[in-house]
Amino acid sequence: MARAIELSIENVRSGRGGPFAAVVVRDGQIIAEGVNQVTSANDPTAHAEVIAIREACKKLADFELKDCELYTSCEPCPMCLGAIYWARPARVYFANTAEDASRIGFDDSLIYKEAARPHSQRKIPMIPLMRDQALEAFRAWEEKGDKTRY
Which one, of 7, 100, 95, lies nearest residue 52 by Cα? 7
Q: Which of 49, 69, 99, 143 is catalytic?
A: 49
33 is catalytic: no
DSSP track, the chain: -HHHHHHHHHHHHHTSS-S-EEEEEETTEEEEEEE--HHHHT-TT--HHHHHHHHHHHHHT-S--TTEEEEEEEPPPHHHHHHHHHH--SEEEEEE-HHHHHHTT---HHHHHHHHS-GGGSSS------HHHHHHHHHHHHH-TT----
Catalytic residues: 49
